Structure 1
Amino acid sequence: MPRLVTISRFLISLAVFSLSCTGIATAQDRRQNAPGDFDFYVLSLSWSPSFCEAASERGNNGRGTQAQCGGRPFSFVVHGLWPQYERGFPEYCERPSPRLARNIMTSMLDLMPAPGLIYNEWDKHGTCSGLGERAYFETIRKARAAVKIPDEFLQLSEPKTIAPDDLEAAFIKANPGLSSSAIAVTCDSQRLGEVRICLSKDLQFRSCEEIDRRACRRDQVLMPPMRGG
């Protein structure tokens, strides 16, 4: 008899657990990957010299890497403009994604200097924006124009070691209205990776706790110099 009671309790607990999991899934799925249904954007600015050094160390000399890491001295480049939820984010919201027109891709090479990156950003993130392909990339251009890169990082000719907090402070100083709760720095084991800035749907700076929590926790990061520096 006690064994039957134990089994019954187990089955009841399992049923309750299953129902709770279903409820969680429903809450997540209600707008999961629904194009245009998100809370804010993250503009991700990649420090190109770090990307190129890491690619070289891995022996990655593919066409996409060559496009970004060739002769032009790129500094911060746009990695992407990513729709976000307050917790988590949508991705690949249309499968298959609408084919991105080549002329739109080429029009973005000044900001995103790798064709493969542009196509991937459209497939993974652009399809979640609720915008058509041309409107999405125009929004990327507007978002990038809304952020001023601090002057000291525009022509970096020597390696620079900097605290992530100081890098954030430089961006905050250069961009009135930007606060520490709306920007995060990422890094690998030694180098600066990206500066991520949170923007509302109308491209105003806004706070983003989850992005800030995933920021680099190192005391200092290395900024390799721009190519040709």
Structure 2
Amino acid sequence: MPRYGGLIALAALAIAAAVYGLREGANTHLNMAVPRDTAIPTKPIAGETTPAPRPAAVPRGKGFDFYVLSLSWSPTYCGSEEGRGNRQQCGGTADYGLIVHGLWPQNETGYPEFCSSGGQERVPDSLGRSLFDIMPGMGLIGHEWRKHGTCSGLSQQDYFQVTRMAYERINIPAALKTGKSSTRLGTEQIESILVAANPDLGKRGIAVTCDGGKLDEIRICLTKDLTFRDCLEVDRNACRLKSVDLPPID
């Protein structure tokens, strides 16, 4: 009987080993099929789209009611006595049409200027030169910061970021981009072509100014979030001439 008992024990061990081997083989097979560290690909859901990137937030100014973006017709300035001495804007090979004169904090009545910002007044060259495509000159950039930027409640970096964002908010029509020959346009016509190119812009939110019968500036009113708005006081100070000359872009 002890001999049979030993045989039975050996048989039981053999069966247990066989069962264990089957289990390990199954686990190995599963691990080879789908490694634990490998992500299982999934099919895109029908109709699913990638969300569009959010537009950059506009740094929020304070201490005023709205902005006036002043766009200057560079050939008029460069034909003046002051402009002829400005080699950055009026010399070299760059041909400027409408450039940014400034972004001005404005109140419903009047405007602040030359505020005490508590920060540095000089604009670093590295910051100023990054704006030369729209504000060609360190003198202009420095003056605009001291007179207007210091009243925006923004740092220098944020103020000029908003200035660029405001400029890029405007769709400038071809008639005001490619003036290679002198032309004459009605002041109402200039407003109309800007409104046509910027459907949310109304004529009471634009002021065309003139200097000696020539186009001087186009001033466009914007909220602190850079949406178009009316500005009656600014509009009332527009040029009284029915038409103005646009000197050519050299």
Within 5 Å, which residues of 2 pair with 1:125-144? 125-144=148-167
Match for 1:117: what amino acid? L
2:73 aligned with 1:47? yes
Deviations 1:167-212 (Å, cap 9, x if unpaired)? 0101000011000010010001210000000000000000000000
Aligned length: 188
Give the SS at the match of 2:226.
coil
Q: 1:155 matched to which residue of 2?
A: 178
Q: Deviations over 1:83-131 (max 9, x none)?
A: 0010000011117761322211111111100110000111111111101
CA distance 1:60–1:106, shift in 2 (3 Å): closer
Partner of 1:193, secondary structure, is strand
Q: Does residue 1:220 correspond to 2:243, yes or no? A: yes
SS state of the match for residue 192, structure 1?
Answer: strand
Normalization by structure 1: what TM-score? Answer: 0.79
* Equivalent position of 1:68 in the other structure: 89
Q: 1:175 to 1:59 in 2, by over 3 A?
A: closer
Structure 1 spans left out of the alignment, 5+ residues: 1-34
Q: Is the 8 A contact 2:117 2:150 kept in 1?
A: no
Give 4+ residue runs of structure 1 displaced > 6 Å after superposition.
none
Mark the CA change 1:97 to 1:189 in structure 2 (over 3 Å): closer, same or farther: farther
* Aligned-partner Cα distance in 2 for 1:158–1:86: 38
CA distance in 1 between counterparts of 2:209 and 2:74 reads 13
Counterpart check, 1:80 vs 2:89? no
1:101 corresponds to which residue?
Answer: 124
Rg: which structure is higher?
2
Indicate the residue corresponding to 2:215 in structure 1: 192
Residues 105 and 148 of structure 2 are in contact (CA less than 8 Å); yes or no, is this contact kept in structure 1?
A: yes
Q: Structure with the greater relative contact order (CA < 8 A, sep ≥ 6): 1 or 2?
A: 1
TM-score by length of 2: 0.72
Gap regions ≥5 residues in structure 2 = 1-60
* 1:108 to 1:166, Cα distance in 2 relative to 1, 3 A: same
| Paired residue type of 1:217 | R
Aligned counterparts of 1:220 and 1:78: Cα–Cα separation in 2: 22
Contact kept, 8 Å, 1:80 with 1:140, in 2: the verdict is yes
Please state whether the residue corresponding to 2:79 is helix, strand or coil.
helix
RMSD: 1.4
Counterpart contact for 2:84–2:90, Cα < 8 Å:
no
Asked whether the 8 Å contact 1:157–1:226 carries over to 2, the reply is yes
- Report deviation, 1:36: 2.4
- Match in the other structure for 2:8: none
Q: For residue 151 of structure 1, report the CA deviation from its aligned partner.
A: 1.1
* Percent identity for Structure 1 against Structure 2: 45
